[in-house]
A and B are shown apart, each in its own frame.
Chain A
Amino acid sequence: MSSTESAPLRSSFTIRGSTTLITEFFDFSVNNILYQRGIYPMDDFKTVKKYGMNLLVTHDEDIKSYIRKFMKQVHVWLKAGKVSRFVLVIVNKNTGDVVEKWQFNINVNEEDQDASSLNQQHEISPEQIQSQIQAIIRQITSCVTFLPNLEVNEYTFNILVFTDVTTALPQNNEWVDSSDYKLNIEGEECVQLKSLKTNLHTVDTLVSYKTAN
């Protein structure tokens, strides 16, 4: 197939294209989660059209630049194939307890890497990817129905990235190794959402939450 340079950015079968696609998907998912879970008030969000559906993204400059900042780094790591998991953790502001986590497990389809360049039948079309993303984001939205209610203004979020050990931390001090992060939720329940499959990556989405008792 075409080289990375000449391929369109969104093409799901170059590393760059696939990574961009996944980063974008993370971005919208994070926005959607922040909105749906009420981490920020409704007024901070506006509707945009994306993936053939209406999505809510923040228009607050601070939140926007915050998300942009960590997404940029995640993108770099994704491109290098270092990320195995991207986690958004919802934390109680006062106690610091993890009450909910949204995991995106990233697997590189290694066999496909070679296959896709030879075999065009395995190619996943942009339409298919879009409908996959649509389905996941719809699922994220629908999760609100069974997830425990979060008190307004009581919760904040953290971003964790599971990388392989060789990953060097960026110089800007914005990332810390926190392998001892207490990710466990007491009495947690886990729901697996649909997967996103591009030609190079498979992203499994999971939400874990604290059960009522």
Chain B
Amino acid sequence: MSTSTIMDSPKSSSHRLVARQHTNPNILHQSSHSKTTYKYSSKYQNGKRNGSPQRSSTLSLASPTKLNVVRTDWSEAQRETGTLKPPAAPPLLRSNSTMGLSKTDRFIPSTYSSSNGKLIRDDNELQPPANASPSRHIEAQNKLIYQQTVADACGLQMNEKILQFRPRPPQSKASVISLNFKNSQYDFKKNSINPLRSRKINNTPERVLDAPDFNDDFYLNLISWSSANFLAIALGCDCYIWNASSGSVDLLHSFNEPITSVRWSDDSTHLSIGKESGKVEIWDIESCERVRTMDTQSGTRVGVQSWFDNLVATGCRSGEVFVNDVRVKQHMVNTLANHVGEVCGLEYRGDGLQLASGSNDNVVTIWDCRSSLPQFTKHTHTGAVKALAWSPDTLSLLATGGGSSDQKINFWNTTTGARLNTIDTGTQISSLHWGSSDCFGKEIVATGGYPNNAISVYSYEHQIKVAEIEHAHDARIISGQISPDGSILATVGGDENLKFHKIFNGNDDLNKMKSKRNTGLVSGKAMTSKIMTIR
């Protein structure tokens, strides 16, 4: 009985299948018999028919023609012993009939062999033909017992298979983001013990310039820093150009009406100057000449401008935004009317496909520049929106800052229109500029007003203030501009000072430029914190 475990169930079952095919009740009986007394019978047979060339009885029992062919084709053992001749077919000889049948009949479809190719191979190895020498049979039997023992010891079962679910487990969608976030949170915790050590900015300005007659009006944008490192500032009716590389100051022109906005073109060859009357003048910086004057027809002051290539968008007090092409005579190519309050923030996205505008009616509008229709209109802010900043590395990320009654920075995805985050700064926001630092990654610097007149640096990821310059100005900060290398923030406040603070390390690519500029600062009038007068 104990040997019955050696017999695999499929063997016996397939045998029965065969037997049934031939509908011989004898075989049925035989199979069950041979199953239980396998050890005995095989040994007995082996001993008795030692070396006999006779074929196994199986073949004779089953349909001789069919099974014989298979036997001769496939059995290795047969080939070895060279018994390729048709079986002599002595009737009803019992021996290892089950084995012969179970492994050879190729006319029985593959249920057995395909599901269990391995065991067939084992059988071939393990069970020598009936006519093999007894020692071979004993050896085979021992091998089988040994295998069984080993398998038992390993906790495996011979008549068992392991199936594996093949599809790979899905990646968690949250994992990447939240893990990063977790890590950074961890960093943040590590750093938050000593935030000042990890994110230090110099409280002392690199340079202070006096800006007398500066118009203390929140809704105007009176400074602009060009990519060629020129800073334009409007003081009353006069426009000055400060060369940040050399430190020299030039008066561009004295107008007969107050200047309400200045803005450099992208290539920094032209400066557009918006005036109280609603006229916009384009000046060539090389020749210091007026190139053209554009009248926006609104008759109200132009508080903000933004360039994209040949287009300059101008925001008026009347709430309209005019898009002007500086090359053509009929310069006004578009009128974007969605605001009811004075437009005080206007910024083209880097690729020029979107234009963000902020207004005194507390509305932020994101325009699709191709259709000139408002793509999104956001009423989240509760104060005038002057500060707008497109992320330099994420195309559709926009930061907007509200005025004194709002005091919040909102982050938007301008593709979906979703608000990504909000930071309450506790002060009015007059400008926003993106930057980055080693310890906090993406950061945004905001310039504020009452009570601290501070320059604050927020980590975009953690939504916390990571550095601050309190009382950077004695009065509220009206405007801020970041240097072309992204390291120095120029701020101008109601205290009529223009101050330069080093906030970021600047871009790697522009490090050379920065160092050049720094040496320019040093070799120029060199001393930090020394107040100099422009005129």
Q: Are A41 and B157 in contact (CB under 8 A)?
A: no
Q: Are A161 and B172 in contact (CB under 8 A)?
A: no
In the assembled complex, how far is the CB of residue B144 from the closest CB belonging to chain A, in whole angstroms?
Answer: 16
Pick from A157, A165, A175: contact of B160, CB under 8 Å: A165
- Which residues of chain A from 7 to 54 have any CB-CB distance to chain B below 8 Å in the complex? 39-41, 43-44
Cα of A194 to Cα of B534 in the assembled complex, Å: 85
- Which residues of chain B from 136 to 165 have any CB-CB distance to chain A below 8 Å in the complex? 157, 159-165
Q: Are A167 and B159 in contact (CB under 8 A)?
A: no
Q: Are B166 and A40 in contact (CB under 8 A)?
A: no
Q: Are B174 and A44 in contact (CB under 8 A)?
A: yes
Does residue B175 face the partner (Cβ distance < 8 Å to A)?
yes
Give the residues in chain A near B167, CB-CB below 8 Å. Answer: 66, 69, 174
Listed stretches A121-129, A131-139, A177-185; interface member: A177-185
Q: Are B163 and A163 in contact (CB under 8 A)?
A: yes
Cα of A103 to Cα of B165 in the assembled complex, Å: 15
- Which residues of chain A from 145 to 171 have any CB-CB distance to chain B below 8 Å in the complex? 152-153, 156-169
In the assembled complex, how far is the CB of residue B109 from the closest CB belonging to chain A, in whole angstroms?
Answer: 12
Pick from A62, A63, A178: contact of B162, CB under 8 Å: A178
Give the residues in chain B near A162, CB-CB below 8 Å. Answer: 157, 160-163
Cα of A153 to Cα of B169 in the assembled complex, Å: 13
Does residue A84 face the partner (Cβ distance < 8 Å to B)?
yes
Q: Are A163 and B160 in contact (CB under 8 A)?
A: yes
Q: Are B162 and A153 in contact (CB under 8 A)?
A: no
In the assembled complex, how far is the CB of residue A108 from the closest CB belonging to chain B, in whole angstroms?
Answer: 14
Cα of A150 to Cα of B2 in the assembled complex, Å: 45
- Which residues of chain B from 40 to 89 have any CB-CB distance to chain A below 8 Å in the complex? none
Give the residues in chain B near A158, CB-CB below 8 Å. Answer: 164-165, 169
Does residue B178 face the partner (Cβ distance < 8 Å to A)?
yes
Give the residues in chain A near B163, CB-CB below 8 Å. Answer: 160-163, 167, 169, 175-178
Does residue B511 face the partner (Cβ distance < 8 Å to A)?
no
Q: Are B174 and A179 in contact (CB under 8 A)?
A: no
Give the residues in chain B near A160, CB-CB below 8 Å. Answer: 162-165
Give the residues in chain A near B160, CB-CB below 8 Å. Answer: 84, 162-165
Pick from A41, A73, A166: contact of B9, CB under 8 Å: A166
Cα of A60 to Cα of B174 in the assembled complex, Å: 9
Give the residues in chain A near B168, CB-CB below 8 Å. Answer: 156
Cα of A153 to Cα of B180 in the assembled complex, Å: 11
Cα of A43 to Cα of B178 in the assembled complex, Å: 8
Cα of A183 to Cα of B182 in the assembled complex, Å: 32
Cα of A112 to Cα of B166 in the assembled complex, Å: 35
Does residue B10 face the partner (Cβ distance < 8 Å to A)?
yes
Chain B, residue nearest A157 (CB): B169
Does residue B115 face the partner (Cβ distance < 8 Å to A)?
yes
Give the residues in chain A near B10, CB-CB below 8 Å. Answer: 165-166
Chain A, residue nearest B157 (CB): A84
Give the residues in chain A near B173, CB-CB below 8 Å. Answer: 60, 62
Does residue A173 face the partner (Cβ distance < 8 Å to B)?
yes
Give the residues in chain B near A179, CB-CB below 8 Å. Answer: 118, 161-162
Interface residues on A, range: 35 or more
Give the residues in chain A near B8, CB-CB below 8 Å. Answer: 165
Q: Are B164 and A41 in contact (CB under 8 A)?
A: no
In the assembled complex, how far is the CB of residue B164 from the closest CB belonging to chain A, in whole angstroms?
Answer: 4
Chain A, residue nearest B112 (CB): A166
Chain A, residue nearest B162 (CB): A179
Give the residues in chain A near B161, CB-CB below 8 Å. Answer: 162-165, 167, 177, 179
Interface SS of B by simple majority: mixed
Taking A62-B170, A156-B169 as contacts, is the C-beta distance between A178 and B164 under 8 angstroms?
yes
Give the residues in chain A near B172, CB-CB below 8 Å. Answer: 40-41, 44, 60, 62-63
Give the residues in chain B near A175, CB-CB below 8 Å. Answer: 163-166
Cα of A183 to Cα of B164 in the assembled complex, Å: 12
In the assembled complex, how far is the CB of residue A62 from the closest CB belonging to chain B, in whole angstroms?
Answer: 4
Give the residues in chain A near B3, CB-CB below 8 Å. Answer: none
In the assembled complex, how far is the CB of residue A70 from the closest CB belonging to chain B, in whole angstroms?
Answer: 4
Taking A41-B172, A44-B174, A60-B173 as contacts, is the C-beta distance between A159 and B179 under 8 angstroms?
no
Q: Are B164 and A176 in contact (CB under 8 A)?
A: yes
Pick from B9, B119, B157, B179: contact of A153, CB under 8 Å: B179
In the assembled complex, how far is the CB of residue B13 from the closest CB belonging to chain A, in whole angstroms?
Answer: 8
Cα of A157 to Cα of B116 in the assembled complex, Å: 26
Taking A153-B179, A165-B8, A166-B9 as contacts, is the C-beta distance between A159 and B165 under 8 angstroms?
yes
Chain B, residue nearest A105 (CB): B155
**Bitwise interface map of A from 69 to 104 toward B, beta carbon under 8 Å scored 1, else 0:** 110010000000000100000000000000000000
Cα of A140 to Cα of B13 in the assembled complex, Å: 41
Chain B, residue nearest A64 (CB): B170
**Bitwise interface map of A from 172 to 204 toward B, beta carbon under 8 Å scored 1, else 0:** 011111110101000000000000000000000
Cα of A159 to Cα of B161 in the assembled complex, Å: 14
Give the residues in chain B near A43, CB-CB below 8 Å. Answer: 174, 178
**Bitwise interface map of B from 1 to 19 toward A, beta carbon under 8 Å scored 1, else 0:** 0000000111001000000
Give the residues in chain B near A159, CB-CB below 8 Å. Answer: 164-165
In the assembled complex, how far is the CB of residue B136 from the closest CB belonging to chain A, in whole angstroms?
Answer: 26
Give the residues in chain B near A177, CB-CB below 8 Å. Answer: 161-164
Q: Are A181 and B162 in contact (CB under 8 A)?
A: yes
Task: Provide a sorted-by-A list of 27 A–B residue pairs whose CB atoms are within 8 angstroms.
Answer: A40-B172, A40-B174, A44-B174, A60-B170, A60-B172, A60-B173, A60-B174, A63-B172, A69-B165, A157-B169, A158-B164, A159-B165, A160-B162, A160-B165, A161-B163, A162-B157, A162-B163, A163-B163, A165-B115, A165-B119, A165-B161, A167-B161, A169-B163, A173-B166, A174-B167, A175-B164, A176-B164
- Tell me the A residues contacting B by CB distance below 8 Å: 39-41, 43-44, 60, 62-63, 66, 69-70, 73, 84, 152-153, 156-169, 173-179, 181, 183
- Tell me the B residues contacting A by CB distance below 8 Å: 8-10, 13, 111, 115-116, 118-119, 157, 159-175, 178-179, 182
18 new A-B contacts at CB < 8 Å, known A63-B172, A66-B169:
A40-B175, A43-B174, A60-B173, A73-B165, A153-B179, A158-B164, A158-B169, A159-B165, A165-B116, A165-B160, A168-B115, A173-B166, A175-B163, A176-B163, A176-B164, A177-B161, A177-B164, A181-B164
